[in-house]
Structure 1
Amino acid sequence: MRAVTPFLMFQGPPARALDLSLTLPGAHLLHRQDTPEGCVQLAGLDLSGQRVRVTDSPLPHAFTFTPSTSLFLDCDSREEFDRVCAALGAGGEYLMPPGDAGFSTRFAWLNDPHGVSWQVNLPA
């Protein structure tokens, strides 16, 4: 096996979700291939060393993301933690608001406005 890569499939144009991901520290776009209609056929992101693939489903489907699968981010500072939570949480929904979770200095679990679930952590 060569690699295991998280794959995020959106229903509807994921361009705004890509833009949001690219605001994270250490994130950059590896490649992006669009369809003639302007949908993302396939894009690759690097999120601080973790590669993630993104696509816009060409077919309608009856499922979306679930918080049981999430992207876990470790932040380097309180300022970075606050900035990441503010960016991902704007228009989204907190499952666990920022606070002391006992296992870290600060922790938050949220769904961004595009339905992707994120756990944001500031290690002790």
Structure 2
Amino acid sequence: MEKVTPFLMFQDGKAEKAMNYYTSLIEDSQITNIAKYGANEPGDEGTIKQATFTLKGQEFMCIDSNIKHQFTFTPSFSIFVTCNTEEELDNLYQKLSEGGQALMPLGDYGFSKKFGWLNDQFGVSWQLNLPK
């Protein structure tokens, strides 16, 4: 086995927008490779055939599905972020929750100083934690 990489499938051509958004929010993050559909290929021209990006060193892959599925992301799989400061956590929670949905509002749930869980505007689930 070579490696294991989280894989995100976006619909409606949102993969590139999501990658740009995520890498702008989290320091030491970047888009590392993008392959787009061209003319006369099975996906919509200009959408993501396959891409990779990193968030704080963790590699992710993503695509824009050229097939409309009846499912999307689920909170049972989430991106867990350990923050260094309360300000960092509050800022990230506020930005990621814009256009999304709070699953657990920021608070003290007993297992950390502060914690929040949300689905972002793309439907991807995030858990943001400030350890004790």
Q: TM-score, normalised by structure 2?
A: 0.90
1:26 CA displacement = 2.5
1:8 CA displacement = 0.1
Amino acid at match of 1:109: W
Residue aligned with 1:51, SS = strand
Q: Distance in 1 between matches of 2:77 and 2:6?
A: 10
Corresponding residue for 2:70? 62
Corresponding residue for 1:35? 37
- 5+ residue gaps, structure 1, are none
Corresponding residue for 1:115? 123
Q: Distance in 2 between matches of 1:98 and 1:67?
A: 16
1:7 paired to 2:7: yes
**1:9-66 Cα distance to aligned partner (Å, 9 max, x none):** 0111122211221122222111111112110111111111211101000112111110
Corresponding residue for 1:47? 55
RMSD, aligned α-carbons: 1.0
1:121 CA displacement = 0.5
Does the 8 Å contact 2:20/2:31 carry over to 1?
Answer: no
Corresponding residue for 1:105? 113
Amino acid at match of 2:122: H
Corresponding residue for 1:83? 91
Q: What is the number of equivalent residue pairs in this alignment?
A: 124
Q: Percent identity?
A: 44
Corresponding residue for 1:74? 82
Does the 8 Å contact 1:20/1:88 carry over to 2?
Answer: no
Residue aligned with 1:45, SS = strand
**Aligned structure 1 segments of 4 or more residues deviating by more than 4 angstroms:** none
Q: TM-score, normalised by structure 1?
A: 0.95
Larger Rg: 1 or 2? Answer: 2
